[in-house]
Chains A and B, each alone.
Chain A
């Protein structure tokens, strides 16, 4: 159904109304049954009492006339209808009148232990019949009846009242239920309002979790957690733009200055040549930085998907030492361990390990040493690159893998090298960490061990 939405308030109100109807109907049914039973019992009591009275009088009187006279006396002020016939079906006693008693006698009520209901002349009766032995004329047949109209009227009235009560209760619970549900939904509206306030500029806003009912706590918690993730990605994105703008501004500014000053007056061909060459170096640095930033951005968005191939780590390390070792003049470089294999992208791994190795060499003083080792530990392939030299202060060590963090500000390098190392290692399911002691700094990469190492 297009455009149709079910309302919780409506649904719950209807459910409350239905419940009220059912409860009241059941109660009504029970009470009218109970009232009916109670009335029948009262009637039976009265009828049996009359029957006993008639029996008592009938057993004492010698003649039918005396019986009728005495019974008439005994019944003064009582209600009910009595018809007594003798063995010849001749009426002996009719009370209070022949018009009421004769139809009763004619009805031929069957003998029973319990009063039965019977309609006589348009009126509702409860009747009971019995035979009795009399001194004056053998077995007499006695029928005692009781007009129960006021009982049935009462029960009818009761039923009608119940119907009204059911309708009223249903309406009332529906309305009150709707009000209760509406007020119960209040926290939901609060959440909606809080959510409405949140925009890109106010991602720090949260819905207070302590004021929320238990049922909604989970929703609010999930909602807040979602906000947290959004805020983090958003912050990363804006940090990224800010970092990029900041890092690009400096080299572009110097390029511009240099070019402006050079164009300020006529110069020799050699000077122009130098200017262009220097610009070229600057451009190269800029485009490398942009490429690195894009690489990191891809990594942060999980778009860095390494090609999977078996990369023997020790071979890779030796090749890297072959290359970067050229920079290590008075530094001893040692490669140790097993030629363990990791599944990964050899170009990316070359870049990550190369970054660590060139860093290590750069920070090792003459006469120092750099050690690379590849080992298996706790089901991991562990690559360590350690170098001697000045320790890195603890506060610098923390966040050393963040981008644009440089150990010595103004120093060479883009400040992206270690960030790239971290993103490459993470894309390979590994972990990279750094420790620095008195005279040694160590970077450790742990790769998941997938087995199949060469013997």
Chain B
């Protein structure tokens, strides 16, 4: 599989560096532009699969970069980053043709999840069966089977497991899980997701090996064979 190339346009030095490092370590080819003008030129010149665009840039701001790219016919997905949690900002970005947005500060794992969603968009592999190790999920029949044994799951537990299987190997932040499975969109400081995952583990992982659901302290959860 070809390496996905991501262009990051971010003027804040530390944030930019760590975004680049984080995305590179997650297996993407990441380039960094430190101002709007460079960002626009690189975005127009290079063949990128995704653009991560900070809105507040010196000189040419994020909106202008986005406009210029869309005007030149570049339809790559754009995820914009904003420090201002203003409704107008969100609406403006989406109107200008951005595909998603994140409000700073955000969890890196959240960014990664959004990036993967955007890159996956358009490539349908929704229906059918999902599997990892000896766990199988029949999405249409809403059935989960591990080591030949049928596992009894509630609707939400099934949705949670499905999310893990679709996102194998990806770190899923708690906020991302809450919004994907329960449609809860604000950052809550309760441990609902923790409890839900503990229960799911009890059904899916406890009596089986290898363990599939792993906790990454402070970051979230990941499903993989270790």
Contacts and interface: CB of A to CB of B under 8 A. Distances in A.
A354 B196 CA distance: 17
Contacts of A285: 189
B107 interface: yes
B188 interface: yes
Given A280-B219, A284-B218, A327 B191 contact: yes
B186 A413 contact: no
B87 A350 contact: no
Interface residues of B, number: 24
B103 to A, nearest CB: 8
B156 interface: yes
What does DSSP make chain A's interface, helix, strand, loop or mixed?
helix
Interface stretch (A110-118, A318-326, A428-436): A318-326
Contacts of A305: 87
Q: Which bracket fits the contact residues of A? A: 20 to 34
Contacts of A320: 184
B85 to A, nearest CB: 8
Contacts of B156: 322
Given A274-B217, A281-B218, A326-B196, A358 B190 contact: yes
Nearest to B87: A307
A274 B105 CA distance: 22
Contacts of A350: 184-186
B188 A358 contact: yes
A291 B87 CA distance: 15
A278 interface: yes
A288 interface: yes
Interface in B170-226: 178, 182-192, 195-196, 199, 216-219
A305 B196 CA distance: 34
Given A350-B184, A413-B189, A326 B218 contact: no
A326 B219 CA distance: 21
Contacts of B185: 347, 350
Nearest to B218: A280
A144 to B, nearest CB: 106
Nearest to A358: B190
A347 B105 contact: no
A277 B183 CA distance: 27
A319 B189 CA distance: 18
A324 B192 contact: yes
A319 B186 contact: no
A288 B187 CA distance: 8
B29 to A, nearest CB: 26
Contacts of B105: 287, 291
A277 B182 contact: no
B184 A354 contact: yes
A58 B160 CA distance: 147
A414 interface: yes
B185 to A, nearest CB: 6
Contact of B182 (A284, A319, A358): A319
Contacts of A327: 190-192, 195
Nearest to A320: B184
A351 B186 contact: yes
A278 B156 CA distance: 29
A326 B87 CA distance: 31
A350 B87 CA distance: 16
Contacts of A358: 188, 190
Contact of A288 (B182, B189, B219): B189
Contact of B186 (A284, A322, A326, A354): A354
Interface in B102-132: 105, 107
Interface string B152-182: 0000100000000000000000000010001
A425 to B, nearest CB: 15
Interface string B22-39: 000000000000000000
B186 A347 contact: yes
A326 B192 contact: yes
Contacts of B188: 354, 358
Interface in B7-30: none
B116 to A, nearest CB: 21
21 contacts: A277-B218, A277-B219, A278-B218, A280-B217, A280-B218, A288-B189, A291-B105, A305-B87, A307-B87, A323-B182, A323-B184, A326-B192, A326-B196, A327-B192, A327-B195, A347-B185, A347-B186, A350-B186, A354-B184, A354-B188, A414-B189
Interface of A: 274, 276-281, 284-285, 287-288, 291, 294, 305, 307, 319-320, 322-324, 326-327, 347, 350-351, 354, 358, 413-414
